[in-house]
Structure 1
């Protein structure tokens, strides 16, 4: 589902700043349905960039005990190919040529902010919007249909940087089992006790993250960075399938990854403009004659040819990204750095590249088994297809799906019967998406699918109250008043992030082997997955913020419009104080509705049946091809890559150029 960058098209409603005498007072009957929420975790500002005097949007610091580092990597795909005969301007648009990722990981710096003082080698920070900033902003403008207006909307964000430092050393210590709220920021510089039976240096679990339509590898930096701050290595893929606002595919001038080499090896093609400038520009790809196939009210339905091919390309990119992570973990990071196309002289790259990284520190520091696949919206649909193809993604052992766009899934009837979810699954919905009936039913079916006999896997489905579709991305944090005023989000965006992370870490603590679950022992377990079941049809209507049908999945409906929409923080603060005075502290059910959960016995049975780490590692090693062969995970794609020319069998006219 497209993140709501359709915002500029929405009209300001009831734009009178004066409130009528009949307007409900705060705490009155009409405001009783606003969720009673806890405060978000403490996120002290790092410096002047995070203060109101600096004219830029800022992203909050991460709450886990580890400082966070990032790396940008773009390398030639080992298996370049074309995935569909869909063309624009006579060129295939769904091509795999390079793999672009941002890696978020726990850092080993002694400084809480990962900055070396008084050093010419001080770590820089990665831009949130990406380079070149104006080009990326204009890509968003084209995607949102607002043109150059996007340059104004994104102007403050052009100065925003991630609260993590580029190319910082990977952590070599076990974090303490205390969170920053209890231990303060100094906890980030302390070493925790090593768990019984664990190695001296932690080997961090891997998460592969897939973004949604309109997303990028940094659009979910708060989510990915939070995971990293709790001891996970997160590889966020930037998909080049026409699902992002704008991305750049770099090419070497000669040899591997040059345009000539890609064309010869993978049958891809390029426009003359691409050849002259040395890189491809991939903008958001609208389906022909059906540009808004993501809408719940679209009579034409989803463009199956495009969406299925995009998922096939996305899965290939994820396989390529995993190969990069495997190479780094095997101590061959220098080889990756040698192929990196995000360095000085290439489009969208930082001059820092991968300088200053001690690749020997990365050897055996990532657990390549028990990998978690996570994604938002169309990325969540991608995760589902990965889980259904465990023969290909044998290293993925569980999935987390945020606000799944169900219509983007490949229809089950086109899949062989053996392609079912056989892994633990956590599905987290925003409240806005929960009110999309067909979508909610489909997500509920996915969770039931994972729980099917004869080998049920622990799986959960919950809704976070007061949240909207972008509450799991950085957009609601960067533009909270836009989300409140236009989309009627009532949850504190930072608290929404806390809930998403805490529920996800609670899930992983249930399904990961004990020695891997230990890395996130500092998180605050709120018992979200153990709360009482709340069937959607039994939730009192006065607690629901269900909008009129025309706004289903896009926004919520709130009463007490003005104070809440114009000053949501003030509203929440006053409400919280009044509830505390009445002795009504927030409870789990106040902020989340749990719709489906496994029995305690089934979770215990799953943990008992989990293979010993050494047995699982051997099974994983035996399934891998030789690393030196330069091959990626070569499972059969769910759709055979398109290799023919125009008019080949299987092509359809709707997505062809005239």
Structure 2
């Protein structure tokens, strides 16, 4: 006999039990928890328009608000930089029709734009995605669609924090502080330097497989400190994809292209060196055209530039007259762009290229020979990965080639520096580590915190720009060169403050050793 007799069911319908689909019957296995977490995260990103897995770009830390303006201006007549043509269409591959750049600049306090912020991946996303697929040699209809979906999902919704098309700030003073300027209470005093030449200008050239939006935080940080930065978008085949816009004409797209796709006008294959020469010449022409536009704005032709700008921005250009320093600009670049920046220094400052200095970040290892005809101060920064890897470069190591170029410039009387940023990798100066910090750390080997790494780049750049303006060496630029070669044994995190001989006047003064190795210094 059963301990609890069953109730009689005679004449009654059997009770029904609600059946839930398996996904709604939770079993706390690791698979269920993982899948549920991913689903919740995706729903959250969809509801709040947040890109999957990517971090938003942080705000800028300087005293100024930051503005951004896209500028695309047609040339009076197209410039044929090289006669190479595309094999399929027979169109000129290196004909310059318009110049495109984004200006990052110090804006008036608390500036708020009524225009939408710029997207980190310009619209349409499919152009950039197809360019990435082409770089990977997988360019076809299906892969392009998959790549567009992936790019849109990962970073398609990322916005650049700069306010679009707001007024330029007045440059009343530049503020700096050093440990030596302390008052009686030990507090650091602010030293104010009045500038009458206008905001200093930096013209920046991007690297291979990059575009003008890959360095927005570096540029924005400099803008928040009073500098105007022009990030050029190159149409030399190095950018994944760029939309060419002209007022009154249909848009066209120029995707990345490489040596096998072009030929000479006589139908001969180009060599790699010939192709890279054409690319660098094209970049130099784009740099010159950018300088022309900036000068027009500074000379009081801002309204004319606004009318010609096919991007429809620059409403305040009419008020920029005499407020930016276009007589002594600085050229800068990263990777392929660093090689291009060095080339733009050929022959010294000229009317077309009025550069009083250069910032060279990881000069290219596969972008052609490096120009050594330099007659202005230069700051060359290698990432840790760039210095630590011994690369053969035209018969000798790349590091030694760069070392000799900088050293010879110092011997010519031009104060110049060459240093390695410890713990960083090649992309550390770009926005990529900020957007995907874990992914970039795993894939590139960077050991420094992504924010600290970029902060170090910004600070040493600001110190160099300060030196060009005032002649004063501060922070890292005051130190002597102690590493004629990169020393792996003294890499990132090895040295710490308060270690014996590295003390001076009772306090740590070599804290920079945690982040830098100085190879060449004029001190």
Tell me what 1:531 maps to: 479
Equivalence map 1:412-491=2 (5 Å) = 420-434=373-387, 435-437=389-391, 438-453=397-412, 456-491=413-448
Q: TM-score, normalised by structure 2?
A: 0.75
Query: Using a 3 Å threshold, how does the CA distance of structure 1 residues 194 and 427 change in structure 2: closer, same or farther?
Result: closer
Tell me which moved more, 76-85 or 481-490: 76-85
Measured in 1, the distance between the counterparts of 2:298 and 2:253 equals: 31
Tell me which moved more, 429-438 or 142-151: 142-151
- Maintained 8 Å contact 1:385/1:409: no
1:143-186 CA-to-partner distances (Å, cap 9, x unmatched) read: 2346445331452311111111110110025357369xxxxxxx
Tell me what 1:94 maps to: 94
Tell me what 1:57 maps to: 55
Equivalence map 1:37-52=2 (5 Å) = none
Tell me what 1:375 maps to: 333
Tell me whether 1:385 sits opposite 2:354 in the alignment: no
Choose which of 311, 315, 324 in structure 2 pairs with 1:366: 324
Measured in 2, the distance between the counterparts of 1:544 and 1:406 equals: 22
Query: Using a 3 Å threshold, how does the CA distance of structure 1 residues 491 and 194 change in structure 2: closer, same or farther?
Result: closer
Query: Using a 3 Å threshold, how does the CA distance of structure 1 residues 79 and 462 change in structure 2: closer, same or farther?
Result: farther
Tell me what 1:318 maps to: 287
Tell me what 1:29 maps to: none
Choose which of 117, 120, 123 in structure 2 pairs with 1:125: 117
Q: Which has the higher contact order (CA 8 A, sep 6+)?
A: 1
1:529, distance to aligned residue in structure 2 (A): 2.4
Equivalence map 1:595-610=2 (5 Å) = 595-599=519-523
1:237, distance to aligned residue in structure 2 (A): 0.9
Measured in 1, the distance between the counterparts of 2:450 and 2:231 equals: 21
Tell me whether 1:115 sits opposite 2:72 in the alignment: no
- Maintained 8 Å contact 1:175/1:193: no
Q: Which runs of 5+ in 1 are unaligned?
A: 1-47, 117-121, 180-191, 259-277, 291-300, 344-352, 413-418, 518-524, 546-571, 600-658
Equivalence map 1:265-344=2 (5 Å) = 278-288=250-260, 303-343=272-312
Equivalent residue of 1:369, what SS? strand
Choose which of 507, 511, 523 in structure 2 pairs with 1:587: 511
Choose which of 206, 215, 222 in structure 1 pairs with 2:217: 222
Tell me what 2:463 maps to: 506
1:286, distance to aligned residue in structure 2 (A): 2.0
Equivalence map 1:37-186=2 (5 Å) = 54-55=50-51, 57-88=55-86, 89=88, 90-109=90-109, 111=110, 114-115=111-112, 122-145=114-137, 147-148=143-144, 149-151=146-148, 152-174=150-172, 177=175
Select the structure that is richer in strand: 2
Tell me what 1:244 maps to: 239
Figure out how many residues of one structure are paired with residues of the other and give that number.
434
Measured in 2, the distance between the counterparts of 1:173 and 1:385 equals: 31
Q: TM-score, normalised by structure 1?
A: 0.61
CA radius of gyration, larger in: 2
Q: Which runs of 5+ in 2 are unaligned?
A: 1-43, 178-189, 263-269, 392-396, 500-506
1:511, distance to aligned residue in structure 2 (A): 2.3
Measured in 1, the distance between the counterparts of 2:362 and 2:383 equals: 6
Query: Using a 3 Å threshold, how does the CA distance of structure 1 residues 507 and 178 change in structure 2: closer, same or farther?
Result: closer
1:138, distance to aligned residue in structure 2 (A): 2.6
Measured in 1, the distance between the counterparts of 2:95 and 2:154 equals: 33
1:184-214 CA-to-partner distances (Å, cap 9, x unmatched) read: xxxxxxxx99745x55xx7101111111111
Equivalent residue of 2:64, what SS? coil
Measured in 1, the distance between the counterparts of 2:381 and 2:449 equals: 17
1:375, distance to aligned residue in structure 2 (A): 0.5
1:197-233 CA-to-partner distances (Å, cap 9, x unmatched) read: x55xx71011111111111111110111111111111
1:521-541 CA-to-partner distances (Å, cap 9, x unmatched) read: xxxx982223343325472x4
Equivalent residue of 1:387, what SS? coil
Aligned residues: CA RMSD: 3.3
Measured in 1, the distance between the counterparts of 2:198 and 2:165 equals: 18
Measured in 1, the distance between the counterparts of 2:233 and 2:410 equals: 31
- Maintained 8 Å contact 1:430/1:465: yes
1:444-478 CA-to-partner distances (Å, cap 9, x unmatched) read: 1221231133xx10000011111111111111211
Tell me what 1:27 maps to: none
Equivalent residue of 1:336, what SS? helix
- Maintained 8 Å contact 1:406/1:442: no
Tell me whether 1:401 sits opposite 2:360 in the alignment: yes
1:62, distance to aligned residue in structure 2 (A): 1.2
Tell me what 2:7 maps to: none
1:41-85 CA-to-partner distances (Å, cap 9, x unmatched) read: xxxxxxx99xx9944531111111111001111110234122223
